């Protein structure tokens, strides 16, 4: 067995930069890390200004509806769009027509959901979050109606972002998340007194509007955007047939967040905020890896599976080994340092030491699922590239069912900590199913000597 010599390490690193896949992953990862550091500063500002308050709880609830639509419908469209767009390009098809079809679907869904949200908000709040005061509900509605136009922005930017990834504009794509964060910081620093309780909602709206203008500028400048007359061809029909199972998969996955928020809302005031702060650090690590890997891997896998499926599987397994190994080490360190990290980042102003201890314990529980969650998300990118969306829909339904059962049991004994524990257990079980299914598909491939 040969081992890498110490003097060979610089050469190995240098050669890695010549690999387009590794180079793109490192570029996106570095940019995402920088932006996430700025995002953490934004979270520190929000924590210092609002603590675990009713206003922050209502803001998170107001974000649920548009975030739900974005994660279920808009993200689903983008996910199925990228692999089929790659096929259309390879076959020399009409990519302008396909772009138009995707934009029309995204805008249509955004319009429908905005109208539905305006008409059903009161019913939704009474059903999902019963027993609160009229002022509590009014705070949610006031913020929700300000945030809702973001659905149009997300629908368009999601497609434009996918086109940029296919065109290998990963650096330009990754810096787009800076604009909503910077805008929110600006609003908190200079406009909080003038705007008052709606400052978070208006910061979200304006930040995403600026991001949309940025996407349009880049895609037009580099001639990525190409709108033509929408035509439904065989590839478009196949893509549209993949949309329902992908939407169902995304729906069941997103419902887990609703379920957790529902149970948290039934607990003491501040539980929703505590749950959201408790997942901040795990989400920080996950988002960096997924932005770095996910943005690059879906178009990469989509191209590779059309050329060499066996090699695509080997790439997947190699990436999983590295990600799981490295993330496990980071998680162990994070658990031991959890109290200190939460105290350093959030404990100031309205955020007390009691809040620190509560959020830190939630964080320790959620950190455990990071290696499993990362492996699942990477496998999902791969399965999307080979259009295995029906399987993912069934697994997502199973996850939701198990999460409901565990929430009922664990929240009774451990309150908000039980919600975090339930999520961790569900993600560990789900990861095992995803890997088992993917490895079985690999074994079914015809082998050539």
pLDDT tens sequence across 390-444: 888 889 889 889 989 998 898 888 888 888 899 899 999 999 999 999 999 888 8
Q: Is the pLDDT of residue 83 over 50?
A: yes
Of the two residues 167 and 170, the one the predictor is more confident about is 167
Whole-number Å distance between alpha carbons of 432 and 360:
27
User: What's the gap between Cα 355 and its chain centre?
Assistant: 26
> Does position 9 have pLDDT exceeding 50, yes or no?
no
Q: Phi and psi (nearest 5°) for 337? A: -100, 10
User: Which whole number is the average pLDDT over 345-351?
Assistant: 75
Instruction: Quickly state the pLDDT bin for 6 (edges 50, 70, 90).
Output: very low
pLDDT band per the 50, 70, 90 thresholds, residue 18: low
Lowest mean pLDDT among 72-76, 142-146, 150-154, 214-218: 72-76
* Chain mean pLDDT for the chain: 83
State residue 191's pLDDT score: 94
- pLDDT over 80 (residue 134): yes
Above pLDDT 70, what percent of the chain? 89
17-26, 38-47, 361-370, 407-416, range with the lowest pLDDT = 17-26
What pTM, to 2 d.p., does this model score? 0.71
Q: What is the model's pLDDT at position 449?
A: 44
Nearest residue to 428 via CA among 361, 367, 359? 367
Please tell me whether residue 149 adopts helix, strand or coil conformation: coil
Q: Which helix (H) or strand (E) holds 410?
A: helix 389-414
The residue ranking higher by pLDDT, 341 or 216, is 216
* Chain length of the chain: 449
- What pLDDT was estimated at residue 3? 41
Tell how far CA 189 is from the center of its chain.
27
Tell me what percent of the chain is helix, strand and coil, each rounded to the nearest 5.
Answer: 85, 0, 15
Report how far residue 205's alpha carbon sits from residue 149's, in angstroms, rounded to the nearest whole number: 7
**229-286: pLDDT as tens digits:** 888 888 788 888 888 888 888 887 777 776 776 777 667 666 777 777 777 777 777 7
Instruction: Tell whether the model's pLDDT for residue 1 goes beyond 50.
Output: no
How would you class 335 by CB atoms within 10 Å of its CB: exposed for 0-12, middle for 13-18, buried for 19 or more? middle
Q: What is the pLDDT of residue 356?
A: 83
**How confident is the model over 297-302, as a mean pLDDT?**
72
User: 447 falls in which pLDDT band (50, 70, 90)?
Assistant: low
Cα angle, residue 128 at apex, residues 125 and 131 outer, rounded to 5°: 75
Classify burial at 233, counting beta carbons within 10 Å of its beta carbon; exposed 0-12, middle 13-18, buried 19 or more: middle
Position 357 confidence tier, pLDDT thresholds 50, 70, 90: confident
Between 206 and 252, residue with greater pLDDT: 206
pLDDT value at position 4?
Answer: 42
Q: Which residue has the tokens 């007194």?
A: 193
């Amino acid at each position: 067995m040969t081992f890498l010599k110490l003097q060979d390490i610089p050469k190995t690193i240098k050669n890695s930069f010549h690999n387009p896949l590794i180079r793109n992953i490192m570029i996106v990862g570095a940019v995402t890390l920088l932006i996430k550091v700025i995002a953490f500063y934004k979270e520190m500002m929000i924590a210092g200004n609002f603590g675990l308050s009713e206003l922050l709880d209502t803001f998170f609830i107001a974000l649920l509806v548009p975030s739900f639509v974005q994660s279920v419908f808009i993200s689903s469209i983008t996910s199925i769009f990228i692999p089929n767009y790659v096929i259309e390009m390879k076959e020399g098809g009409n990519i302008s027509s396909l772009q138009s079809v995707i934009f029309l679907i995204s805008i249509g869904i955004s319009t429908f959901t905005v109208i539905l949200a305006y008409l059903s908000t009161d019913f939704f709040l009474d059903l999902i979050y019963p027993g609160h005061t009229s002022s509590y509900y009014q705070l949610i509605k006031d913020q929700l109606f300000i945030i809702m136009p973001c659905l149009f922005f997300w629908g368009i930017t999601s497609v434009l972002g996918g086109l940029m990834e296919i065109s290998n504009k990963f650096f330009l794509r990754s810096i787009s998340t800076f604009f909503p964060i910077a805008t929110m910081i600006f609003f908190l620093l200079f406009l909080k007194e003038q705007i008052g309780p709606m400052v978070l909602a208006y910061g979200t709206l304006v930040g995403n509007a600026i991001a949309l203008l940025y996407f349009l500028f880049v895609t037009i400048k580099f001639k990525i955007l190409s709108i033509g007359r929408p035509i439904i061809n065989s590839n478009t029909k196949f893509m549209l047939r993949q949309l329902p199972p992908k939407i169902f998969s995304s729906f069941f996955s997103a419902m887990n967040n609703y379920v957790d928020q529902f149970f948290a809302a039934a607990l003491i005031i501040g539980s929703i905020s505590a749950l959201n702060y408790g997942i901040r650090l795990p989400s920080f690590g996950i988002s960096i890896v997924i932005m770095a890997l996910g943005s690059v891997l879906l178009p990469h896998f989509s191209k590779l599976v059309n050329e060499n499926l066996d090699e695509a599987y080997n790439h997947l397994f190699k990436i999983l080994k590295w990600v799981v190994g490295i993330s496990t080490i980071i998680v162990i360190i994070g658990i031991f340092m959890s109290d200190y990290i939460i105290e350093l980042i959030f404990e100031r102003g309205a955020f007390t030491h009691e809040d620190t201890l509560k959020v830190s314990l939630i964080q320790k529980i959620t950190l455990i699922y990071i290696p499993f969650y990362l492996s699942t998300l990477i496998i999902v990118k791969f399965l999307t590239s080979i259009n295995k969306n029906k399987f993912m829909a069934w697994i997502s339904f199973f996850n939701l069912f198990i999460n409901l059962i565990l929430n009922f049991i664990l929240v009774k004994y451990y309150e908000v900590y039980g919600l975090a524990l339930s999520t961790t257990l569900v993600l560990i079980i789900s990861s095992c199913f995803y890997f088992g299914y993917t490895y079985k598909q690999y074994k079914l491939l015809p082998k050539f000597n």
